[in-house]
Amino acid sequence: MKIWTVPGWALLSGIAAAASASPPATPPAAPVVPNIYASIPTLQKRMDQGQLSAEDLARAFIMRIAAKDQSGPNVNSVLEINPDALEIARQRDEQRASAPTSHPPLLGIPVLLKDNIDTGDRMQTTAGSLALVGPPAPRDATVALKLRAAGMVLLGKTNLSEWANFRSTHASSGWSGRGGLTRNPYVLNRSACGSSSGSAAAVAAGFVTVAIGTETDGSVICPSAANGIVGIKPTVGLVSRAGIIPISHSQDTAGPMARTVGDAARLLTAMAGSDPQDPATREADLHATDYTRFLDPQGLRGKRIGVVRALTGYSPATDRILDQSIAAMRAAGAIVIDPVKLPHLNEFGDAEFTVLLYEFKHDLNAYLATRPRLKVHSLADLIAYNKAHADTEMPWFGQELFLKAESMGPLTDKAYLDARQKAHRLAGPEGIDAALAAQHLDALVAPAQGPAWVTDLVNGDNDGGNGYGTAAVAGYPSITVPAGFVHGLPVGVVFFAGKWSEPTLIRIAYGFEQHTHARRRPHFFPTVLEETPQADAPAENATAPAAASVATPSSTPVPAASSAPVPAASVPAPATTVPTSG
């Protein structure tokens, strides 16, 4: 069930209808049709030269959303279109005309926001829940304010795993009561992962240039990898969380999602910085910078990178893609230490889960207090709403995580304080920091995730292992970059390191991207294929041919929704498995 704001739906429907209407006797000048996969610098150059307008660009994306997201393959990644998008785009064009040589670097670039990020306009902010449909947020989240200040066009909101995948351990990524199921644009019966499912799928499918996701544990990295794009999960505290529907103040952050490392770095530059509304960002201005300074094609040269083999084993094909990636890194001048030990991998899962349960109740109740006009005002109210509307909110899975969180005490409980200290210590200082110091490393690398699994709304996600959890629990940064394909399904690697290490990670990720060019455009296949389509045009400053894909019997054609899920990989899991959330 999709709930659009009426003006936003009318805008999309009107543009689509106009595009298909019979031409007038004297047709107006045809709108410029941009390359919807173009990078930000390419789009800016065309707009600066008068070959393209921000309005043309926004209109082209809205038409593509109507054709490919809301019909055709029905990716279903976009929850609503901003009814003011074209007017904002026209204002950006006027701004460019008035200052043609001195304007923000993101002027006129469209961006989609995950539907847990407040916007003080006519759009909804609901975390995918019908319980929050109603009066819009009273003000912009700090991230939204920063994007507007950078000159971007807020095009709309994206679907997500409802409540950022923190309602049930049996949830299916990409499903929400408000928006239904988001599909993976590479293979439509496969998961888009989550919880930033719509943001990742929309960027991959060419529905927008860039998007914003959020992560508590995996919700930027997993969907980015599953949809063949770049995602950056920043250090907790680099980007403000004010005005973002929370799970955990210990782990939550927003992050950029883009088709290239360069565009992700440009977006992060606009997002980063201190905010008095978020105490965690008090040091952010000391570290925030122009991250495009680190887009070095030779960024791998001399870097010491450790391979965490304990985070492999999702499938033989995934491991072969990692091996190809290691060979590419070495060829580009990196010093790769394989393997390295990442201590305490299976020792902090229970503590993390305890922290998330405590903080979700506390943080969500505090957020709901900022929106008094909603029909729910607490986690207890949400639980009651879901029970009363189980036909629309709980047709596939329940709310056992809500119930567990509601049973938790205050943040002064010793159980919470001990768990928070343990989780951070084992994942951060005694985990990632210790691994880096032991081998004098610049970063660690692992597969972000295996190829996307078959969507199974009845039984939920079946995602096997991952490489992103330790950085998420530590609050440290990570970045995923496309690395290859298994039967047309993208696989990414994830680089991670210590607190505030974004510059180093961006250098490494950009160098890797420029020596592999593994990203390929999606073609909306209904199920997996033996071969993958041709690669995209070379990325910025391309220096090498695209990486080869891998095809093995580990992924077999499956006839979609009613099929049994792909068996989970035999990877050691923490004692408590935390859903990909945030």
3-state secondary structure of 414: helix
Beta carbons of 295 and 510 less than 8 angstroms apart: yes
Pairing of strands 210-215, 253-258: antiparallel
Query: What does the pLDDT read at residue 397?
Result: 98
Any catalytic annotation for residue 219? yes
Distance CA 111, CA 514 (A): 24
Distance CA 176, CA 57 (A): 29
For the chain, give every domain's residue range.
6-17+33-278+300-516
H or E stretch covering 474: helix 469-474
Residues 6+ apart with CB under 8 A from 359: 246, 247, 248, 249, 250, 411
Distance CA 344, CA 88 (A): 49
- DSSP of 265-301, one letter per residue? HHHHHHHBS--TT-GGGTTHHHH---GGGG--TTTTT
User: What are the residues facing 1 on neighbouring strands?
Assistant: none
Any catalytic annotation for residue 114? yes
Dihedral class, residue 191 (left if φ above 0, else alpha if ψ from -120 to 50, else beta): beta
Residues 6+ apart with CB under 8 A from 355: 248, 250, 251, 416, 419, 420, 423
pLDDT tens by residue, the chain, 582 residues: 444 444 555 556 655 554 444 444 444 455 567 899 999 999 999 999 999 999 999 999 999 999 999 999 999 999 999 999 999 999 999 999 999 989 999 999 999 999 999 999 999 999 999 999 999 999 999 999 999 999 999 999 999 999 999 999 999 999 999 999 999 999 999 999 999 999 999 999 999 999 999 999 999 999 999 999 999 999 999 999 999 999 999 999 999 999 999 999 999 999 999 999 999 999 999 999 999 999 999 999 999 999 999 999 888 999 999 999 999 999 999 999 999 999 999 999 999 999 999 999 999 999 999 999 999 999 999 999 999 999 999 999 999 999 999 999 999 999 999 999 999 999 999 999 999 999 999 999 999 999 999 999 999 999 888 999 999 999 999 999 999 999 999 999 999 999 999 999 999 999 999 999 999 999 999 999 654 444 444 444 343 334 445 433 222 222 233 222 222 232 333 334 577 888
Distance CA 360, CA 122 (A): 27
Distance CA 352, CA 164 (A): 16
> Which of 195, 224, 250, 315 is the catalytic position?
195
Any catalytic annotation for residue 196? no
3-state secondary structure of 121: coil
Could you report the per-residue pLDDT of 5-61, keeping only the tens digit for each? 445 555 566 555 544 444 444 444 555 678 999 999 999 999 999 999 999 999 999
Tokens of 481: 């970059």
Query: Residue 240: is the preceding peptide bond cis (ω within 30°)?
Result: no
> Which of 39, 68, 77, 114 is the catalytic position?
114
3-state secondary structure of 525: strand
User: What are the residues facing 180 on neighbouring strands?
Assistant: 176
> Which of 219, 224, 501, 555 is the catalytic position?
219
Distance CA 548, CA 524 (A): 20
3-state secondary structure of 551: coil
Tokens of 447: 């597969």
Q: 193: closest CA among 215, 216, 162, 224?
A: 224
Distance CA 65, CA 57 (A): 12
Dihedral, CA atoms, 302, 307, 308, 310, nearest 10 degrees? -170
Tell me 75's DSSP state.
Answer: -
3-state secondary structure of 357: helix
Query: What does the pLDDT read at residue 554?
Result: 28
Query: What does the pLDDT read at residue 579?
Result: 78
Task: Give me the phi and psi of 218, to 5 degrees please.
Answer: 100, -5
Q: 357: closest CA among 428, 407, 424?
A: 407
Task: Give me the phi and psi of 192, to 5 degrees please.
Answer: -85, 5
Query: What does the pLDDT read at residue 351?
Result: 99
The third-level CATH classification (topology) of the domain covering 6-17+33-278+300-516 is Amidase signature (AS) enzymes (3.90.1300)
Query: What does the pLDDT read at residue 238?
Result: 99
- Tokens 């440009």 sit at which residue? 266
Residues 6+ apart with CB under 8 A from 254: 114, 117, 143, 212, 213, 214, 215, 234, 239, 240, 241, 244, 271
Beta carbons of 281 and 275 less than 8 angstroms apart: yes
Dihedral class, residue 108 (left if φ above 0, else alpha if ψ from -120 to 50, else beta): left
Query: What does the pLDDT read at residue 580?
Result: 83
Q: pTM for this one?
A: 0.91
